[in-house]
Amino acid sequence: MRQHGSLIGLQRKYGYYETGLSTIKQETATQTRFSRTDGNRRRTQDPGEATSKAADPANGLKSPDQRLPRSARLRSNRDFQEAYAQRRRVIGCYMVLFIRSGPDNALRLGVVASRRVGNAVARARAKRRLREAFRRVRHDIRDNRDVVLVARRSILRACWKNVESDLQRVLQKAGFLPGKRRD
């Protein structure tokens, strides 16, 4: 779990400090980072060998599954109504989290943006940001209860890092993520 978390943090840093990173900060997390870049390069070069990525011994387990296919989404009105009826919710700055637990739990996501958020463009944007933020943290969650995220209006003007940290804080309060994150 902790490995995944550090990997996310590194991934963020990786974007920001790309130029000066390669030589200096090698010592601690060298192995994973190296293998990732190596894997990426290899994938772009040779698509045929990318199928063997799962068998790569260095980072096979730690390669984050960031996918969020449609089967991992809440898709029926009944599921949403059950989530609201169970009345377990956590309120964040940019979103409200509802938890739904039932026999068909699969850590599925439902995204809601009401008309109070704005017009159709704003609602679509809010839903995309929530979906994207959840997609990035989904592989860290060991729970399997379903989740409904309701967008608040402030998410439109928020910067992306704040949205991510707000989602993490909300998930910690709900018990989906371990309490203290270290990086």
Partner RNA sequence: AGACGGGAGCGAGCGGUCGCUGCGGCCGGUUAAACGGUCGUGGAGGAAAGUCCGGACUCCGCAGGGCAGGAUACCCUCGUGUUAAACGGGGGAGUUUUCCGGCAAACGGGAAGCAUGGAAAGUGCCACAGAAACAAACCGUCCCGCACUGCGGGAUAAGGGUGAAAAGGCGGUGUAAGAGACCACCGGACGUAUCCGCAAGGAGCGUUGCAAGGCAAACCCUAUCCGGAGCAAGAUCCAAUAGGGAACUGGAGGCGGCCCGUCUCGUUUCGACGCCUAACCGGCGCCGGAGCAGUUCCGGGUUGAUCGCACAAGAUAAAUGACCGACACUUAAAAGUGAAACAGAAUCCGGCUUAUGGCUCCCGUCUUCCG
Partner RNA sequence: GCGCCCAUCGUCUAUCGGUUAGGACAUCAGGUUUUCAUCCUGAAAAGCGGGGUUCGACUCCCCGUGGGCGUG
Query: Which residues of this protein are in contact with RNA, per CB under 7 A?
Result: 15-16, 18-19, 40, 43-44, 47, 50-51, 65-71, 73-78, 80-81, 110-112, 119-121, 124-125, 127-129, 132, 135, 159-160
Nearer of residues 76 and 180 to RNA, judged by Cβ:
76
Least distance from C-beta 2 to RNA, angstroms?
20
Nearer of residues 19 and 180 to RNA, judged by Cβ:
19
Least distance from C-beta 91 to RNA, angstroms?
18
Among all chains, which residue has been given the structure tokens 């290899």? Answer: 42
Q: What Å distances lie between residue 181 and 20, 29, 98, 125, CA to CA?
A: 25, 17, 22, 28
Nearer of residues 54 and 180 to RNA, judged by Cβ:
54
In the chain, the amino acid numbered 89 is R
Dist. CA 52–CA 141, nearest whole Å: 26
Least distance from C-beta 107 to RNA, angstroms?
14
Structure tokens given for 181: 């994150």
Nearer of residues 132 and 143 to RNA, judged by Cβ:
132
**Contacts of residue 22, Cβ cutoff 8 Å, sequence gap at least 6:** none
Rounded to 5°, angle at Cα 111 from 159 and 1:
70
Nearer of residues 75 and 175 to RNA, judged by Cβ:
75
Least distance from C-beta 143 to RNA, angstroms?
20
Least distance from C-beta 173 to RNA, angstroms?
23
For residues 108 and 72, is the Cβ–Cβ distance under 8 A? yes
Dist. CA 120–CA 155, nearest whole Å: 15
